[in-house]
Amino acid sequence: MFSAVLFAENRGVARAIEMAAQESREVCIYKTLNVLPSAYELTRLLNAFRPDIIFVDLSRLEGGMVIAKGARVILPDAAIIGFSEKVSEWHLAQVRKAGVLEVLCLPLTNQKFQQSLERAMRQARPAVEENLLAFLPAKAGSGATTIALNVAGCLANDLNQKVLLMEADLRSGLLGVLLKLQPQYSILNALENAALLDGTLWSQIVSRAHGLDLLVSPRPEEASRVSWAGYHRLLQFLRVRYDAIVADLPEVVNDATGEIVLRAKGTYIVATPELPALVLAKQRRKELVKRGIPDERIGVILNRWRKEEINVRDIEEFLDRPVSFVFQNDYHSVRRAMQEGRLISKKSELGRLFSAFARKLAESEVPDPEPAQGSRSFLDSVLRK
């Protein structure tokens, strides 16, 4: 939950905000003040509670703006939300200059409260995390989890980055199957305790294998509903602790996982060369754009490609966009890695492609690879792309 403080001289109005926060199940108001504090008292209060959200009564505009301006200086990344029965366009312009991000018009509805909360939190904190990457399948079974896992492994082991792989498909559990893991805790534990996370608790929740930190999904019957706020708080905690955060998503992005793609530097749709997958890849792209993801932050990865089956340029023409990367079909290497619960071997050409793509994502110079199995034509063609 998000922590909050509330400044409201009118006790009836204060109670309305408190009830809306309680009903949202996303906000916990730790302190309510019915008397506007002095500058010293405001500084002391905000430094003591360090709230995510500051609610400010704008009924008396001058007093409310003083609180908002002071709070913005003390806590630059706090979401300041004002509220009043009437707000003119002139008043709205003034309070925005004071640092108020959203204004709630009374009387409140739960929908208005939720919408203002979400908008304010996303305005208050960076919209894009430069170290966050997301992978989702065009259709189930396209191999997005395999790609996310092996790319994360290459970022960690080839480029010496501190990497977290996060399985955000709560009803999958495929990552645990691929690595033969049965961890005591899951991503659900991290989401449910996102507001309480510290180094000690995190070390108990996160799993480690093959040079990676891992948050795997729970068993399907244990999965429960989570909200965008849980992912928001979790990403705020993780963003300064890892060089790269790789998220493995289900094919349909919902309101909760939408927080990940909104903040990801790049979101990659994984599709196989079959027509149903390519049709759905176009659909997934439209769904992401509709959620407000800029088109330039959306890529398409072609997986399990065979040179003799279809030309990549024909696929790009069908998708009406360039393919970000191509992974050849190598069922033998994938099956062997799965049987042994490990990453795909760098001795295989597919493993070398994962390494090349990881370097591309990290904006590292792609080295000239040694030939694999006497042939480098496919790898050359991909790197030239």
CATH class of residue range 2-124: alpha beta
Q: Which CATH superfamily is domain 129-384 in?
A: P-loop containing nucleotide triphosphate hydrolases (3.40.50.300)
pLDDT-derived band at 272 (thresholds 50, 70, 90) equals: very high
Tens-place pLDDT, residues 216-269: 988 655 556 788 888 999 999 999 999 999 999 999 999 899 999 999 999 999
Higher pLDDT, 220 or 5: 5
Tens-place pLDDT, residues 331-352: 999 999 999 999 999 999 999 9
Round to whole Å and give the CA distance between 357 and 371.
17
- Bond before 369 cis per omega within 30 degrees: no
Q: What pLDDT is recorded for position 301?
A: 97
Edge-to-edge order in the sheet of strand 53-57: 27-33, 2-7, 53-57, 79-84, 102-105
Asked whether the predicted pLDDT for residue 21 surpasses 80, the reply is yes
Edge-to-edge order in the sheet of strand 325-328: 207-209, 212-215, 163-167, 244-248, 129-137, 264-271, 298-305, 325-328
Q: What pLDDT is recorded for position 303?
A: 96
Where do the domains of the chain lie? Answer: 2-124, 129-384
Tens-place pLDDT, residues 29-53: 999 999 889 999 999 999 999 999 9
Asked whether the predicted pLDDT for residue 90 surpasses 50, the reply is yes
Tens-place pLDDT, residues 157-189: 999 999 999 999 887 788 888 999 888 899 999
Equal fold, 2-124 vs 129-384:
yes
With tokens 């609610």, the residue in question is 55
* Contact in structure between 149 and 214 (CB atoms under 8 Å): no
Q: Provide the 3-class DSSP secondary structure of residue 262.
A: helix
